[in-house]
Amino acid sequence: LYRTFKDSKYVYMLIEVCLGGELWTILRDRGSFDDNTTRFATACVVEAFSYLHNKGIVYRDLKPENLLLDNRGYVKLVDFGFAKKIGFGRKTWTFCGTPEYVAPEIILNKGHDLSADYWSLGILMFELLTGNPPFSGSDPMKTYNIILKGIDIVEFPKKISRNATNLIKKLCRDNPSERLGYQKNGILDIKKHKWFQGFDWDGLQKQTIIPPIQPKVKGPSDFSNFDNYSKDTDIPPNELSGWDIDF
């Protein structure tokens, strides 16, 4: 976020532009990703989670729609509408998230913490590798009931490698305290997992590695990597209440 502006009708947010488009759009067009592409995207999310979790912030809305590519193909985590600063060793009880990605403790209203993000990381890996999340029903309630049955009832397609399967299952443990990323070594355990063997974490942080998806971007105003949406013709009423006077 660079600046905010306002007039009598809108609040405007000037934010960094990610012209590579949504990861979800690319996944939809390709059907699924190979190990290499999934590994890169997942690693970008791991770095984002590492940054947020070190500040005691739980993200709570991981899904391909909330991952954008910059013009080089690096993956950015966006949309912090469900993110919450909870600190360390504390829980929160708000029911939120996308049904297919919601952790069991959220469904059961047991309270959740940073470990809910590691559950969703496993779900993301599965969806990127197959094109579909592991748990889905015809409506949210059916989806929640399937989630509560656990990852062990899910049939993993042959295209998911043994190491990827192992990591997904370690991230999607029913008990939050057993999830990889939430142990003594924290997120380092995820980075050191066999599935990431040989991955250049240093190169990712320095942005020296070549991303597996390199978007075609002609210039700073080329938004062709995004779907077209019809223009919103609704004109809102004037907002003159002064609610933001202290900002």
Mean of the pLDDT values across residues 55-80?
97
Supply the pLDDT for residue 243: 84
CATH number of the domain bearing residue 154: 1.10.510.10
**pLDDT tier, 242 (very low <50, low <70, confident <90, very high otherwise):** confident
Mean of the pLDDT values across residues 223-245?
89
Residue 118 lies in a domain: yes
Supply the pLDDT for residue 125: 98
pLDDT above 80 (res 247): no
Mean of the pLDDT values across residues 193-211?
98
Mean of the pLDDT values across residues 194-210?
98
Residue 156 lies in a domain: yes
- Return d(Cα 31, Cα 165) in angstroms, integer: 19
**pLDDT tier, 244 (very low <50, low <70, confident <90, very high otherwise):** confident
66 or 6, which is more confident: 66
pTM of the model: 0.94
In 3D space, the residue among 169, 158, 166, 174 whose CA is nearest the CA of residue 193 turns out to be 166
**Whole domain around residue 56: which residue ranges?**
17-206
Residue 226 lies in a domain: no
pLDDT in tens, 146-163: 999 999 999 999 999 999
Active site residue 113: no
99-103, 115-119, 139-143, 240-244, range with the lowest pLDDT: 240-244
Catalytic residue among 7, 34, 61, 117, which? 61
Three-state DSSP string of the chain: CCEEEECCCCEEEECCCCCCEEHHHHHHHHCCCCHHHHHHHHHHHHHHHHHHHHCCEECCCCCHHHEEECCCCCEEECCCCCCEECCCCCCECCCCCCHHHCCHHHHCCCCECCHHHHHHHHHHHHHHHHCCCCCCCCCHHHHHHHHCCCHHHCCCCCCCCHHHHHHHHHHCCCCHHHCCCCCCCCCHHHHCCHHHCCCCHHHHHHCCCCCCCCCCCCCCCCCCCCCCCCCCCCCCCCCCCCCCCCC
Residue 149 lies in a domain: yes
Residue 147 lies in a domain: yes
Residue 242 lies in a domain: no
Residue 243 lies in a domain: no
pLDDT above 90 (res 64): yes
**pLDDT tier, 142 (very low <50, low <70, confident <90, very high otherwise):** very high
- Return d(Cα 219, Cα 127) in angstroms, integer: 31
When divided into structural domains, the chain yields a total of: 1
Structure tokens at 129: 């590798």
239 or 38, which is more confident: 38
Structure tokens at 192: 């050191």
pLDDT in tens, 14-36: 999 999 999 999 999 999 999 99
pLDDT in tens, 81-119: 999 999 999 999 999 999 999 999 999 999 999 999 999
Residue 130 lies in a domain: yes
